[in-house]
């Protein structure tokens, strides 16, 4: 395939070299004559392991060239990859001026092309930037329609500096967002021969994946450092602890706990995070990550409360009050916290949770907790789904109880549902359905 790569910085240089190495014909484009000359001379414009050799080889074999002439590049290629920088502004937001200027230039060039040309954003941008900023500029300047007269998509990169070439050939995934299937297939074909999971998604989702990845990587570094500081103060070798921690691929290094939803609770997580903070603070250590964990958890409960309050409904039916389905455990359940907020604000509350209802009469610690510690919530418990559905104006799905989706499937569609766990996609087609964070 004939490809023009705009921006010979870190991403653009690596992308150009690797695409050329896999058999594509590449024209690298930049406004900086020094970078263009580096490629022309068969040298890398950046320091990156093995990149000099890869560029030299591809230039000698005639598969990689560089130019200052953007018009020539677009005219002589089938697809353009935008790899220009998106630096931070003073307030932390992205400066997209390079993307905007380039999209305007490419749009003008598309007016002179009779053949179908595809424009792909590889620069990292906040979700919505492609559709709300880049595409309108391309369509305005070209007078053409994206997805019809020209291809448009995005293709986030997952390259780490110093190991970028290895990462290119061994990616964790290849993600493509596109307006149409033809464009998606064209972009994906750039990576023929590379073994990796291949995902085609909406453009905004592809944008979001890059940010989820980088935010998670940053979180892991900060978490590991904070945990290491705490362990050191307790005389523990943090590397040995984390070596064992990382061996757990069922819970720790896995997809578990990674679906957006409601706050965490139960007898372990809140208590243990507080204990780590307290013991660390006693030793003079600050724990910003763990402080933020508890604050974020409280905010998620508040978010659910705000959604309920903004609905204007006063009779609330809550399905599930234990912190986890298939249990009667109410210890530090965020749903109990949510129920308290509603009752304090004089909402009428009914709660259906068959396991908790049974626990009222089973004896033991949970019976004592329900009847004596939270008697005001105990009074809200109903025995049957009908008692809930006949009286409530709005329903809150608190945990993924086995029968909750079936119960709500027969509820009048005029009654709103607020889902904290994404229990059943069939419910999402209802006009008055709202997920807490989806």
Which residues are catalytically annotated? 268
Can you name the residues that pair with 318 across neighbouring β-strands?
A: 351, 396
Can you name the residues that pair with 163 across neighbouring β-strands?
A: none
For 249, residues 6+ apart whose C-beta sits below 8 A from its C-beta are none
Pairing of strands 151-154, 174-178: antiparallel
CB atoms inside a 10 Å sphere around CB 26? 27
Task: Return d(Cα 207, Cα 297) in angstroms, integer.
Answer: 26
For 304, residues 6+ apart whose C-beta sits below 8 A from its C-beta are 262, 338, 396, 418, 420, 436
* CB-CB contact of 10 with 86 (8 Å): no
Residue with tokens 């002589």: 76
Sheet of 381-382, strand order: 381-382, 348-352, 315-319, 394-397, 417-419, 433-435
Question: For the chain, first and last CA: distance in Å?
Answer: 38
Closest CA to 160 of 17, 21, 14: 14
Which DSSP letter does residue 78 get? S
Can you name the residues that pair with 319 across neighbouring β-strands?
A: 352, 397
For 261, residues 6+ apart whose C-beta sits below 8 A from its C-beta are 420, 421, 422, 436, 437
- Using CB atoms within 10 Å of the CB of residue 88, give its burial: 0 to 12 exposed, 13 to 18 middle, 19+ buried: exposed
The tokens for 81 are 């990859």
For 186, residues 6+ apart whose C-beta sits below 8 A from its C-beta are 1, 78, 79, 118, 151
């Amino acid at each position: 395939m004939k490809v023009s790569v705009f921006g010979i910085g870190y991403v653009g240089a690596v992308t150009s070299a690797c695409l050329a190495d896999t058999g594509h014909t590449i024209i690298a484009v930049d406004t900086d004559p020094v970078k263009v000359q580096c490629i022309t001379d068969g040298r890398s414009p950046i320091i990156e392991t093995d990149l000099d050799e890869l560029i030299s080889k591809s230039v000698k074999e005639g598969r990689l060239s560089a130019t200052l002439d953007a018009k020539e590049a677009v005219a002589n290629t089938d697809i353009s990859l935008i790899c220009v920088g998106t630096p931070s502004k003073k307030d932390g937001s992205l400066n997209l001026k390079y993307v905007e200027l380039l999209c305007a230039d490419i749009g003008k060039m598309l007016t002179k092309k009779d053949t179908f040309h595809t424009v792909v954003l590889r620069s990292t941008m906040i979700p919505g930037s492609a559709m709300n900023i880049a595409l309108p500029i391309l369509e305005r300047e070209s007078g053409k329609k994206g997805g019809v007269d020209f291809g448009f998509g995005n293709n986030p990169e997952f390259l780490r500096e110093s190991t970028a070439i290895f990462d290119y050939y061994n990616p964790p995934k290849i993600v493509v967002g596109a307006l149409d299937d033809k464009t998606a297939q064209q972009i994906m074909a750039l990576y023929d021969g590379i073994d990796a999971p291949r995902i085609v998604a909406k453009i905004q989702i592809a944008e979001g994946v890059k940010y989820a990845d980088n935010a998670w990587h940053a979180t892991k570094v900060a978490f590991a450092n904070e945990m290491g500081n705490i362990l050191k103060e307790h005389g523990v070798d943090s590397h040995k602890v984390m070596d064992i921690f990382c061996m757990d691929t069922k819970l720790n290094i896995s997809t578990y706990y990674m679906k957006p939803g409601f706050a965490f609770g139960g007898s372990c997580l809140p208590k243990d995070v507080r204990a780590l903070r307290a013991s660390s603070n006693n030793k003079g250590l600050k724990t910003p990550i763990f402080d933020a964990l508890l604050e974020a958890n409280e905010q998620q409960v508040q978010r659910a409360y705000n959604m309920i309050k903004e609905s204007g409904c006063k009779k609330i039916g809550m399905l599930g009050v234990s912190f986890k389905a298939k249990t009667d455990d109410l210890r530090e359940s965020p749903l109990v916290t949510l129920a308290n907020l509603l009752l304090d604000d004089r909402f009428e509350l009914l709660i259906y949770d068959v396991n908790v209802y049974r626990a009222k009469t089973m004896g033991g610690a949970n019976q004592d907790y329900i009847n004596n510690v939270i008697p005001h919530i105990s009074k809200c418990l109903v025995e049957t789904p009908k008692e809930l559905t006949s009286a409530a104006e709005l329903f809150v799905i608190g945990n993924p109880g086995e029968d909750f989706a079936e119960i709500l499937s027969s509820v009048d569609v005029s009654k709103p549902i607020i889902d904290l766990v994404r229990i059943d996609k069939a419910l999402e087609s209802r006009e008055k359905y709202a997920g807490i964070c989806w």
